Amino acid sequence: TATTAEAQIKFGLKGGVNVTSMSFNNSVFDASNRTGFFVGPTVKIQLPLVGLGIDASALYDQREAKVRVADSFTGNTNTTDQTLRSKAINIPINLRYGWGLSSLANIFLFAGPQFGFNVGDKEQKITDSSTWNVKNSNFSVNVGAGVTLLSHLQLTANYNIACGKTADATLKNVGETLTDKEVRTRANAWQIALAYYF
């Protein structure tokens, strides 16, 4: 029994790229997508029920977006784009269901929560009068599909959906007023990953 249980657990390494789609709840800021990366250890557990499994990882994740403050708020048609970076340790935990194509490959679908903890700069400057403040932690959900080859190599693609705000962007002294404007930020991402299980 101990041998069977041990064979159902595999450890490995996972890495990949993400394309961040950053959105704001106000038109003050415009953002364009940028490519980032993630890497870290992973574990896969095969459950007693046929086809069902769980995988979990601890990933260093860096995401980027290029942001510009709308010209109508700055009065400056030469506003410089600023690249914002978020650095986090993300812990995705996915439930997966797979089908065997042959003894050499299988395909699977997966979904589950992801818990993120900021390890980068909490505050970043966008312009002289605006800042971007990253939350200490965030929660998101993954939905995706993948294929396993030769029992060791795994390729996946998923969409990471932020639940709630990822950060706040703040503009000070907007226009001729002395009031601050706070804008909520969400950062979703498409991700492609390659993992190797020992």
How do residues 151-177 score in pLDDT, each as one tens digit? 899 999 999 999 987 777 776 655 544
Query: Residue 69 phi/psi, 5° resolution?
Result: -80, 135
d(CA 96, CA 45): 10
Q: Quick one: pLDDT at residue 173?
A: 54
Q: Quick one: pLDDT at residue 121?
A: 86
Q: Quick one: pLDDT at residue 183?
A: 74
d(CA 194, CA 191): 10
Average pLDDT of the chain is: 82
Query: Nearest-CA neighbor of 26 among 170, 125, 138, 190?
Result: 170
Q: Quick one: pLDDT at residue 37?
A: 95
Element of type H or E holding 35: strand 29-46
- Looking at residue 120, the DSSP 8-state letter turns out to be S
Q: Quick one: pLDDT at residue 28?
A: 58
The region that residue 164 occupies, defined by phi over 0 for left and psi between -120 and 50 for alpha, beta otherwise, is left
Q: Quick one: pLDDT at residue 27?
A: 57
Query: Nearest-CA neighbor of 7 among 60, 48, 66?
Result: 48
Regions of the chain with pLDDT less than 50: 1-7, 176-178
Q: Quick one: pLDDT at residue 135?
A: 86
Q: Quick one: pLDDT at residue 5?
A: 47
